[in-house]
């Protein structure tokens, strides 16, 4: 469902920096894939390109055979809103809105009927265990609860692809574990396709596959053998062989 073909990204004019040096990656429908690598390796750059926040210098990115970079600005905004879901490290929730208003925001922007929005929001809130939070303001809930709300907002319009950028980066251990179990549950039970950037091997151990990037190049891919503990240990071993990864922030 996602095809990344020979993607390159160069920043700067007089002094140029090649952040990505020809990345090829295929994400199948229903996969849960993590991207890991040292700070400055190109992980977030790649995610930004897939998210259509930035455009590649060369290469193509196809989502269900469609190249969003060929769309007009209006169509691109619509594509981003309808086809993609986003979960960020800092939540990116609207503090002046209630939890329920944050969740339905993508549908509000699309002009969806209020009855439809409420039905979808109630179903999702029940699914994610945040029914009791719906009337609260964002400042009244915990970090872990905020990330659950962010996941609900990302999933309310049933996107083709959910993009998560360090979704546990600002959470304590318990909240991180809860969020990762939630993402895994969405992947397994709702068949959500998820692509996640993370530096945390524990979070990464929830994925089906990990892609390692260093210096803008794809190093290798490893599959989850079926045991989370075994995969976690394998990830730790891989990270030790990549200079600087264990010190990544």
pLDDT digits (tens, 9 = 90+) for 43-52: 999 999 999 9
Q: How confident is the model at residue 13 (pLDDT cuts 50, 70, 90)?
A: confident
Measured N-to-C along each axis, helices 143-155 and 173-189 cross at an angle, to the nearest 10 degrees, of: 20
- Mean pLDDT across the chain: 91
Look at the chain and report how many structural domains it folds into: 1
Task: Indicate if the pLDDT at residue 247 is higher than 80.
Answer: no
In terms of Cα–Cα distance, which of 95, 94, 122, 120 is closest to 107? Answer: 120
Tokens of 12: 């700067």
Supply the range of the domain harboring residue 70: 2-247
Q: Which two tokens stand for residue 80?
A: 């981003």
H, E, C per residue of the chain:
CEEEEEEEEEECCCCCEEEEEEEEEEECCCCEEEEECCCCCCHHHHHHHHCCCCCCCEEEEEECCECHHHCCHHHHHHHHHHHEEEEECCCCCCCCCEHHHHHCHHHHHCCCCHHHHHHHHHHHHHHHCCHHHCCCEHHHCCHHHHHHHHHHHHHCCCCCEEEEECCCCCCCHHHHHHHHHHHHHHHHHCCCCEEEECCCHHHHCCCCEEEEEECCEEEEEEECCCCHHHHHHHHHHHHHCCCCHHHCC
Q: What is the pLDDT of residue 229?
A: 95
**Tokens read off for 57:** 């210098």
Give the whole-angstrom CA distance, residue 90 versus residue 170. Answer: 7
What tokens does 131 get?
């029914």
Would the pLDDT of 135 be above 70?
A: yes
Q: What is the pLDDT of residues 95-110, one digit of tens each?
A: 999 999 999 998 988 8
pLDDT at 19 over 50: yes
- CA nearest neighbour of 128 among 87, 75, 94, 166: 87
Predicted local confidence at residue 246, as pLDDT: 44
CATH of the domain at 200: 3.40.50.300
pLDDT in tens, 76-89: 988 888 899 999 88
Over residues 218-242, the pLDDT tens digits come to: 999 999 999 999 999 999 999 888 8
Distant-in-sequence, close-in-space partners of 94: CB < 8 Å, separation ≥ 6 = 101, 102, 105, 138
Give the per-residue pLDDT at 243: 58
pLDDT tens digits, 192-216: 999 999 999 999 999 999 999 999 9
d(CA 83, CA 81): 6
In this predicted model, what pLDDT tens digit does every residue of 155-206 receive, in sequence order? 998 899 999 999 998 888 998 999 999 999 999 988 999 999 999 999 999 9
Whole-angstrom CA distances from 99 to 27, 93, 149, 200 are 31, 9, 7, 28
How much of the chain, in percent, has pLDDT values that exceed 70? Answer: 97
> How far is Cα 222 from Cα 212, in angstroms, rounded to an integer?
8
């Amino acid at each position: 469902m996602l095809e990344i073909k020979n993607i390159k990204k160069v920043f700067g004019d007089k002094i140029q920096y090649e952040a990505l040096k020809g990345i090829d990656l295929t994400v199948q429908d229903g996969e849960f894939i993590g991207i890991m690598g040292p700070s400055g390796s190109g992980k977030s750059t790649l995610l930004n390109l897939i998210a259509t926040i930035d455009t590649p210098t060369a290469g193509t990115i196809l989502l269900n055979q469609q190249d969003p970079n060929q769309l007009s600005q209006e169509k691109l905004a619509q594509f981003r809103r309808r086809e993609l879901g986003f979960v960020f490290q800092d939540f990116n929730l609207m503090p002046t809105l209630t939890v329920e208003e944050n969740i339905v925001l993508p549908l509000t922007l699309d002009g969806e009927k209020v009855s439809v929005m409420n039905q979808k929001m109630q179903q999702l809130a029940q699914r994610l265990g945040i029914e009791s939070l719906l009337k609260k303001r964002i400042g009244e809930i915990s970090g872990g609860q905020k990330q659950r709300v962010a996941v609900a907002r990302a999933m309310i319009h049933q996107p083709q692809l959910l993009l998560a950028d360090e979704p546990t980066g600002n959470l304590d251990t318990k909240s991180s574990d809860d969020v990762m179990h939630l993402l895994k549950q969405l992947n397994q039970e709702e068949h959500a396709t998820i692509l996640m950037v993370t530096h945390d091997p524990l979070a990464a151990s929830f994925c089906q596959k990990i892609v390692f990037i260093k210096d803008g190049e794809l190093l290798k891919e490893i599959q989850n053998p079926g045991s989370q503990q075994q995969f976690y240990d394998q990830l730790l071993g891989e990270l030790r062989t990549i200079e600087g990864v264990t010190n990544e922030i």
